[in-house]
Amino acid sequence: MRAHPSPNFGERRDGAAVDLIVLHYTVLDCAGSLERLCDPAAEVSAHYLIDRDGTLHALVDEAARAWHAGAGAWGGAGDVNSRSIGIELVNSGAEPFAEPQMKALEALLRDILDRHGLGSQSVIGHSDMAPDRKADPGPRFDWRRLALQGLAVWPDVPAAPFATRGDGGAEAHMAAFLADLRAFGYPDAAPETLLTAFRLRFRPAGKGPLDATDCALAAGLRRFAVDVKPADA
């Protein structure tokens, strides 16, 4: 781990404890990312940056509030910066994530989850908590790989996704899909926006209107349901 302190941080508000880890991609290369994440004028940072070769840069102490998440919410609560650790991965958003980088991420996630007493459902993407404006870590990120190691979640698919819901048509299926996403933690957003964000993570090859596969996957997330808090700023 290389220390590369960023001046862009503050105190976690209201004594908030860490309950999320948010994954991002940088678009920029490592040098450009370090410059931006440590530029006071940019007003952006993260706790960690992982280069393609697996080099881990520590930018902000975990006890501090880094500025990586921005506007958004998860589990009904906002100010994600105050309750999360942000990890930036050097990636353009259109390329596979390098093997050394993924191994470094996996080791870091194990360490953070263990030290903070968090479960695998605590690891989310930027696009999950800000679906109306963010797409990272993007469709090339291997969430299932993390889930197989207990470092993220992957849905179990019910054998009959609509069996207990009746067949109320497309409107009823969309309502059930959105309820499942809300129970998992997704914030309020337009249905198509949430469908896009959901597919980015769980079904990147999915196209077109909501279908039975989307609904089955979303229903499979119910076992990771969060205690949804009242929405806040």
Q: Max alpha carbon distance in the chain (Å)?
A: 56
What is the residue type of 94? A
What pLDDT sits at residue 169?
82
What pLDDT sits at residue 118?
97
What is the residue type of 125? G
What pLDDT sits at residue 157?
76
Instruction: Say what angle helices 170-184 and 212-220 make with each other, to 10 degrees.
Output: 30
Q: Is the backbone of residue 187 left (phi > 0), alpha (psi -120 to 50) or beta?
A: beta
Residue with tokens 């597919």: 199
What pLDDT sits at residue 164?
44
Q: Is the backbone of residue 77 left (phi > 0), alpha (psi -120 to 50) or beta?
A: beta
Marked catalytic residue, from 11, 88, 95, 106: 88
Token couple for 29? 């290369």
Q: What fold, for 2-148?
A: Lysozyme-like (3.40.80)
Q: Distance (Å, rounded) from C-alpha 43 to C-alpha 39?
A: 7
What pLDDT sits at residue 232?
41
Active site residue 35: no
Residues in the chain, pLDDT under 70: 158-168, 227-233
Residues 6 or more apart in contact with residue 211 via CB below 8 angstroms? none
What pLDDT sits at residue 167?
60
Residue with tokens 């059930």: 176
Residues 6 or more apart in contact with residue 22 via CB below 8 angstroms? 68, 69, 80, 84, 85, 86, 87, 124, 125, 126, 129
What residue segments make up the domains of the chain, in order of their start? Answer: 2-148
